Amino acid sequence: MKVAEISLPKLSKQLHSKEGFRFRLGAFTIALISSIDKVVEHLHFAYADFEPLPKTELVDFHVSLTSPAIRRCYRPQVVFSFDDHIPFLPLPLSQASAMFEWGLNWCIANNAHHFLILHAAVVEKNGRALILPGSPGSGKSTLCAALACQGWRLLSDEMALLSLADGLIYPVPRPVSLKNQSIQIIREFAPDADFGRIVTDTAKGDIAHLRPPRASVLSQSETAEPAFLVFPHYRSEGESELKMLSKGLAFMTLAKNAFNFNILGREGFDTMAHLIDRVECFDFSYPSLASALAGIDGLVR
Amino acid sequence: MVDCENAGLYKKNIQTSFYFTNDECVTYCGLSGDIHLIEGSNARFLNILSMQPMSYLEIVSYFADEYDCEIDPNLHDHVKSMIDHYQKLSLLEVIGSKNS
């Protein structure tokens, strides 16, 4: 049974229940409670290939999205809570699906400290994972979406989970969050790609979620061996340029892109050193999606 | 600045981890959580020091070889300044003293 096979009314009923709707997301189990139609639709569409879990399943993250009754008529809002803790200010109700994704990012980044968590997209092909760390605007999610549309396995568009225990990358193949111009770029690049509805006027602009490829969801329990670490930089002019990066400099740059490097202390340092030892490191500037894909293709051949 | 010449042996601070790669060293200080990138001859020096403690004069001699220069006051000043800097970063510590 997949989420897509559950009717919307039945999914809505499960989301309404006090146990919530439970599903596995990579190494985690999630229980989601919500009575918001947009959340039901988002789950049904973007998590279509995920399998529901029984209500007895132990849960890592209990999250809920609710709409306060007092604001239902005038500028309705959505509130995200995790274990009854409300970490963010409410957002407009129209942004409920985006808030679910941001909230889940927050839950993982702040709690999953058995991983070194890198702010990076990760895809995998032929058993070799490509890690694309990057700050907003670097184009990592756009690149990640394009690579996933080309048959790379999507592990994550937002965070690379590097296990402290075995040094492998654990997938969290969630919807790829695309912003502003990136939405149209990927629509043109992959006309068959499955997008959810566009959420407008968020703090990050317009956002659309690309449904993760079915094959990536079905293999969400399969870890990947890191092979390449590529720091992407979008620039509007010039030629694409792939430069080898010294491992020392790659280490320093990657540490700045880790959510919990300081929390993990020496263990985080050792895990990152182990990662850097095993990967080839590059700095990659590119002016267009086509040139970026050609560069990455050349790299992995 | 510490009295390097009368200090004992310098060794890697037990609170610190080093990651060596080619001619670079990334250091991690367990006390502050800070990381630093050290390159070239200084990285090679830390690599040797991580394996065996060295006296001040051995360190001076090491850098004279590295820089292919005479041991003169300038080199002494350079090494003292470097030792002082690395001690402040908690990368090095002293065991014993020359007079003890």
Does B25 reach chain A within 8 Å, measured CB to CB? yes
Determine the average pLDDT of the residues in A183-204. Answer: 93
Strands A21-25 and A28-34: antiparallel
Task: Evaluate whether A29 touches A79 at the Cβ level (below 8 Å).
Answer: no
> Where residue B47 sits, what CATH number does that domain have?
3.90.930
Asked if residue B99 is part of any domain, the answer here is no
DSSP string, A19-63: T-EEEEETTEEEEEEE--HHHHHHHHHHTTTPPB--TTS--SEEE
At residue A47, what are phi and psi to the nearest 5 degrees? -110, 30
Distance, in Å, from the CA atom of A61 to the CA atom of A5, rounded to the nearest integer, reads 24
Determine the average pLDDT of the residues in A280-291: 94
Decide: helix, strand or coil at residue B52: coil
Confidence at B98, pLDDT banded by 50, 70, 90:
low
Determine the Cα–Cα distance for residues A77 and A92; give it in Å rounded to an integer: 4
Q: Alpha helices, DSSP H only, in B4-72? A: 40-51, 56-67
Q: Whole-number mean pLDDT of chain A?
A: 94
* Radius of gyration of the CA atoms of chain A, in A: 19
Chain B residues inside the 8 Å CB shell of A260? none
Tell me whether B50 touches chain A (CB under 8 Å). no
**Beta strand pairing status for B7-12 and A280-286?**
unpaired
Chain A residues whose CB is inside 8 A of the B17 CB are 266, 269-270
Instruction: State what percent of residues in chain B have pLDDT above 90.
Output: 79
Could you tell me if residue B84 is inside a domain?
A: yes
Tell me the per-residue pLDDT of A6-26, one tens digit each, with 9 for 90 and over: 999 999 999 999 999 999 999
The residue segments making up the domain with residue B45 are 4-94
pLDDT in tens, A226-277: 999 999 999 888 889 999 999 999 999 999 999 999 999 999 999 999 999 9
Contact between chains at B30 and A252 (C-beta distance less than 8 A):
no
Number of H helices and E strands in chain A, helices first, is 10, 16
For the cut 70, the answer to whether the pLDDT of residue A175 exceeds it is yes
Q: Could you write out the DSSP letters of every residue in A56-125?
A: TS--SEEEEEE--GGGSSSS-EEEEEETTB--S--EEGGGHHHHHHHHHHHHHHHH-TTEEEEEEEEEEE
Q: Which residues contact A160 (CB under 8 A, 6 or more apart)?
A: A117, A118, A120, A121, A122, A131, A133, A169
B100 inside domain:
no
Could you give the CA distance from residue B60 to residue B66 in angstroms, rounded to a whole number?
Answer: 10
Look at residue B69 and tell me if it is in a domain.
yes
Confidence of residue A71 (pLDDT cuts 50, 70, 90): low
How far apart CA A59 and CA A19 sit, in angstroms, is 10
Domain count, chain B: 1
Q: Which residue in A252, A269, A272, A274 has the most chain B C-beta atoms within 10 A of its own C-beta, making it the best mutation to test that interface?
A: A269
CA distance A167 to A161: 9
Which DSSP letter does residue B61 get?
A: H
Task: Give the pLDDT of residue A275.
Answer: 98
Would you say the pTM of this structure is higher than 0.80? yes
Q: Is residue B11 domain-resident?
A: yes
Q: What is the mean pLDDT of residues A66-90?
A: 86
pLDDT at B100 over 50: no
Complex confidence, ipTM: 0.87
Q: Given an 8 Å threshold on Cβ–Cβ distance, is B19 in contact with A266? A: no
- Mean pLDDT, rounded, of chain B: 90
